[in-house]
Amino acid sequence: MSADAKKVAGELRAQLPEPHGPVLPGDRQRLLKEHLMNEIHQVQVLTGKAPQTVRPRRNRAWYAVPVGMVAAGALAFTFLAGPGQSGGDTGYHLSAAPVVKVEVGSADGVGALMENVAQHAAEGPATRVGKNQFVYVRSHYSNMQADVGNPLKLKTYYRETWTSQNPEKVQSRLKQPGDDIIWSAPRAGEEGYLEDLRNQTYAALQALPSDPDALLKKLRADAAYSGSSDQWLFEYVGGLIRENILPPETGAAVYRAAAKIPGVVVVEKAQDGDGRPGVALARTDERTHERKELVFDANSYDYLGLRAYLVQDTELGRKGTVTELQAVLDRGVVDSRDETPKK
C-alpha cells in the first residue's frame, strides 16, 4: 500500500466508530448477561433449539422473543398485532430504576412462612383444567433495560399469557406492547421439546411427587439443565409459581420444597411490582449480588408477585436498585386464546 493510500485509510478509519462501542463495567456486564441468558433460554424453550451441552432453563415467565431468533427455530408463529396494540395497555413506560431499602433477611422464619403458604395452597379448591383449555395470567411487569453510561432503567408494561394444555396442537399466546404472538406445534421429530411442554401442563404438575424431599430432588435435576447452582433452583421454583396454576397438593409440596433450598431467607417487609405489601421468600445470587423475592400476602398467603434488586453497591447500580418487578393481577382458566376469566 502506498503512503497516500495509507493516509486515506487512516483518515477513514478515524471517522468510524470503535469496533465494540463503549465497554460496560464488569459487574454491569455480569448482571446484564444473566438477564440476557435467561431471555435466550426462553427462546430456546419456545423454538426447541437448545445447546447440546446445556438444556434450556424452563422459567415460566415469558419474554418478548426476537424475531430473528424465532425464525430459525422449530415453531410456527403468528403476529396478531403491531406495537402499541397489545399487552392490556397502549404501550410501556420507561423510567429510572427505583432504589428501595434493603431489608435484613432471616433464615429462621423460612420454615414457618412456607408451611403457612403450603397449608393455604393445600386448602384451595382444585381447579379443573381441561386438555384443550388455557391457563391465563395477566401481570404488571418491569424488566431491566441497558443504558450504557447512564443509571439503570426499567421498562414497565402489562402482559397477558395464555398457556396451552395441549402441546400437540396450537399452543400458547403472549400479548404485550409490541408483541401479540401465537406459537404453533413444533415440527415432527421434536419429541424432546414436546416432552418439555407436557411436563408443564396442569396434568403433569398434578403428577409431581407430593413429598417435598422427593420433589426437591426432581426440581433440582430439572433446574440443572442450565446449571447446578442453588440460585438457579430457586429461580426455577419461582418460575413454576409466577405464570401457572398449581394443583393444591402440588402447590403445597412446591412451597415446602422451596423452604429447603440453601440460602433462602424471609424478608418481612416486601412489596410486589404494584407496591402491595407482603412477606417474601428470597435468595441472593452470590455472583451478581441481586436478590430475588417471591412476595406473598402476609394474611392470605396468596402469591402477589416478584421483586428483584441489588443488595450492595455494584458497577451496575447502587444498593437497593430495582432490576425486575412483577404483580399478578388476574389468573384463571379459559377455553380459548381470545378469552379472559369471567369476573
Rounded to the nearest 10 degrees, how much is the dihedral formed by the CA atoms of 321, 324, 330, 331?
A: -140
pLDDT of residue 222: 80
pLDDT at 178: 86
> For the chain, how many residues are written?
343
Identify the pLDDT of residue 181.
85
Q: For residues 221 and 190, give the distance between their C-alpha atoms in angstroms, rounded to a whole number.
A: 21
pTM for the whole thing?
0.76
Q: What is the pLDDT of residue 200?
A: 74
**Alpha-carbon distance 267 to 45, whole Å?**
32
Full DSSP string of 184-252: PPPPTT-HHHHHHHHTTSHHHHHTS-SSHHHHHHHHHHHHTTS---HHHHHHHHHHHHHT----HHHHH
Chain centroid to CA 287: how far?
18
Please list, in sequence order, all residues whose beta carbon lies within 8 angstroms of the beta carbon of residue 156, skipping any fewer than 6 positions away.
92, 93, 94, 95, 140, 141, 142, 325
Instruction: For 172-193, write each residue's pLDDT tens digit.
Output: 889 999 889 887 655 555 555 5
- Give me the amino acid identity at 195: E
pLDDT of residue 166: 86
Helical segments of 48-190, H only = 67-71, 110-123
Report phi then psi at 43, rounded to 5. -65, -40
Rg, Å, the chain Cα set = 22
Q: Residue 102: its pLDDT value, please?
A: 96
Enter the DSSP assignment of 74.
S
Distinct helix (H) and strand (E) counts, the chain: 9, 11
Handedness of CA 174, 71, 183, 35 (dihedral sign): negative
Find the DSSP H helices in 24-173. 26-47, 67-71, 110-123
Quick one: pLDDT at residue 1?
Answer: 52
pLDDT score recorded for residue 187: 55
User: Do residues 203 and 87 lie in contact, with contact meaning Cβ atoms separated by under 8 Å?
Assistant: no
- 204-244: per-residue pLDDT in tens? 899 999 999 999 999 998 877 656 689 999 998 998 999 89
pLDDT in tens, 139-172: 999 998 866 677 889 999 999 999 889 867 767 8
d(Cα 298, Cα 278) in Å, to the nearest integer? 5
Q: What nine digits make up the cell of 175?
A: 400479548
Report the distance separating Cα 252 and Cα 249, nearest Å.
5
CB 279 within 8 A of CB 94: no
pLDDT at 158: 96
> Residues of the chain whose pLDDT is less than 50?
5-30, 39-77, 79, 81-89
Place of cell 420444597: 257
- What pLDDT does residue 105 have? 96
Listed in sequence order, the residues at least 6 apart from 23 whose beta carbon sits closer than 8 Å to its beta carbon are none
